[in-house]
Amino acid sequence: MSQKETVIVLDFGGQYNQLIARRVRDCNVYCEILPYTTKIEKIKEIAPKGIIFTGGPNSVYDESSPHYSAEIFDLGIPILGICYGCQLMAYLLGGKVISAADDAVSEYGKTLTRYSGDNALFHALPEKGVSWMSHRDYISEVPAGFKITAVTDNCPVAAMADESKGFFGVQFHPEVNHTENGKEMIRAFLYNVCKCAGDWRMESFIETTVAQIKEQVGDKGVVLGLSGGVDSSVAAALISKAIGKQLTCVFVDQGLMRKNEGDFVESTFTKLFDMNFVRINCGDEFLAKLKGLTDPEEKRNVIGTEFYNVFWNKIRESYGSGFFAQGTIYPDRIESGKGDAAKIKTHHNQVEQPKDIHFEGTIEPLKDLFKDEVRAVGEKLGLPHELVWRQPFPGPGLGVRVIGEVTAERVKILQEADAILRDEMDKCGYSKEMSQFFAVLPGVKTVGVMGDARTYSELIAIRAVTTDDFMTADWAKIPYEILGRVSNRIINEVSHVNRVVYDITSKPPGTVEWE
């Protein structure tokens, strides 16, 4: 097979590294993030069209700071250094980097930057613009052969270039939105300097992957654990396109999904796709195991263990040969700056297999894709919009949203309230504005009055957040009219509920889920 056009993002531990890779792929160029410990032989083997050195929190003079062999500059491959990557380039090629321990020239945030247009990176751009800076050290002298291509009031070398070799360095972060024309700079590096063809498209990804799956699987069977989440659903659709009924999807419905969700997943995959679909309804068994439990961690453990047992017992019984497939995606596999390619983050998408089950191999068709690329593939494969754009849903399901003991009656109350919330948010088009929203049953009873009678019933809490990464989140400012409609409907339509409250806690200090 011909080598696919690749750009390497060499990871020195910066916080925006995935963003750099996203920007490159947005320009239709395939790109991979590799740790700075990657051997030069591997880079030669990949033969990338270009290399991007990322930022990083260190100073090039720290003993423990990540470096790379200067041999990389002899490969004849264009290199763009960003922030720390720019300083490292200057340092390794004989320029001078000043360690600004006294903060004298450190720059942070939006900074007015003046560019010279006489180089391939800034050629088509305005002479001035805001760039996003985040550095303490700075370059005071560029290496031989380089010229200064941008400055700020505080930074004598905001960008530098040796065009004859295709080496460019920028002290700021072109990958973040705050840098005006940052995307154009990255595009200019890829197309004007690296001469990329830009053939990374989701259509060709689907075509190539389908062919690879067919070749790898032959006439064997493939089994996939389907959760109904975006990643496993798209993986299922893709594998089904490749091998049809040789694929079996096992869907464990533990009774803790949102209202009608299990049926929706079943009808989607049985009606729209060619595959064997096996649904295991085990809600009663899960409830029996959860009886009397109120501690959040204990509940999580029980749900996790039970899920593991039900799923693998089914596989053991019927499908323990051929190939195992899972919906691992690219961010599941990369760990920023650790520099140890073999170490993979434990993640819910990557399922631990029991030792007694031996598949011939694992198929992870989405392992090189970012989430929005996975969604684009899902849309192209004809998965319903609702599934492709699904919000994250925790593995333990409503088990962590029914606070305290989980009973069939309490799950039902929560499902009804949550369905009303989703319906109202969808109707006014507000769902799209949210990263995640849901109802919680806190297990608190309060006094109310309905008709002329006193009530003493359950409370429903509404949780809604906006976030980019779920590491931090803001509580969403849902308009009062919508909250009012949701509250009225929940109290009128869901029995045993007489009060609704809105959670106005950000993360931190709160978490998104209540348990």
Contacts of 354 (CB under 8 A, 6+ apart): 312, 316
- What tokens does 276 get? 């064997």
Nearer to ligand XMP, 191 or 370 (CB): 370
Quote the least distance from Cβ 28 to ligand XMP, whole Å.
30
Q: Residue 123 catalytic? A: no
Quote the least distance from Cβ 261 to ligand XMP, whole Å.
15
Instruction: Tell whether residue 397 is a contact of ligand XMP (CB under 6 A).
Output: no
Long-range contacts made by residues 268-274, C-beta under 8 angstroms, separation at least 24?
268/233, 268/383, 268/384, 268/387, 269/226, 269/233, 269/236, 272/382, 272/383, 272/384, 273/236, 273/237, 273/240, 274/240, 274/244, 274/245
Instruction: Tell whether residue 512 is a contact of ligand XMP (CB under 6 A).
Output: yes
Choices 52-60, 326-334, 480-488, 505-513; region in contact with ligand XMP by CB under 6 A = 505-513
Name which of residues 424 to 463 contact ligand XMP (CB under 6 A). 436
Instruction: Tell whether residue 396 is a contact of ligand XMP (CB under 6 A).
Output: yes
First to last CA, the chain: 48
Dist CA 394 CA 389 (whole Å): 15
356 CB-side CA count, 13 A: 5
Q: Residue 83 catalytic? A: yes
Choices 24-32, 53-61, 393-401, 404-412; region in contact with ligand XMP by CB under 6 A = 393-401
Choices 121-129, 164-172, 200-208, 389-397; region in contact with ligand XMP by CB under 6 A = 389-397
- Judged by CB under 6 A, how many residues of this single chain contact ligand XMP? 11
- 3-class secondary structure, 276: strand
What is the 3-state composition of the chain as percent helix, strand, coil, each rounded to the nearest 5? 35, 25, 45
Query: Element (H or E) spanning 209, and its range?
Result: helix 202-217
- What tokens does 502 get? 């809105």
Instruction: Tell whether residue 503 is a contact of ligand XMP (CB under 6 A).
Output: no
Quote the least distance from Cβ 462 to ligand XMP, whole Å.
15
Q: Residue 249 catalytic? A: no
Instruction: Tell whether residue 281 is a contact of ligand XMP (CB under 6 A).
Output: no
Dist CA 468 CA 162 (whole Å): 36
The answer to whether 29 and 198 are in contact (CB under 8 A) is yes
Q: Which of 221, 354, 395, 404 binds ligand XMP (CB under 6 A)?
A: 395
Question: Which residue intervals of 293-440 are DSSP H helices?
Answer: 296-314, 330-333, 371-380, 385-388, 408-427
Instruction: Tell whether residue 230 is a contact of ligand XMP (CB under 6 A).
Output: no
Phi-psi region at 299: left, alpha or beta (left = phi > 0; alpha = psi -120 to 50): alpha
Q: Among residues 31, 107, 135, 173, which one is catalytic?
A: 173
Instruction: Tell whether residue 305 is a contact of ligand XMP (CB under 6 A).
Output: no
Q: Which of 96, 348, 358, 454 binds ligand XMP (CB under 6 A)?
A: 348
Quote the least distance from Cβ 289 to ligand XMP, whole Å.
17
Q: Which of 394, 425, 487, 499 binds ligand XMP (CB under 6 A)?
A: 394
Quote the least distance from Cβ 506 to ligand XMP, whole Å.
11
Instruction: Tell whether residue 128 is a contact of ligand XMP (CB under 6 A).
Output: no
Nearer to ligand XMP, 272 or 310 (CB): 310
Nearer to ligand XMP, 191 or 389 (CB): 389
Quote the least distance from Cβ 121 to ligand XMP, whole Å.
38
Q: Which of 281, 407, 446, 511 binds ligand XMP (CB under 6 A)?
A: 511
Cβ burial, residue 183 (10 Å; 0-12/13-18/19+) = middle
The answer to whether 199 and 185 are in contact (CB under 8 A) is no
Nearer to ligand XMP, 116 or 466 (CB): 466
- Chain centroid to Cα 304, Å, comes to 22
Write phi, then psi, for 151 (nearest 5 degrees).
-140, 160
List active site positions: 83, 173, 175
Residue ranges in contact with ligand XMP by CB under 6 A: 348, 392, 394-396, 436, 470, 507, 511-513
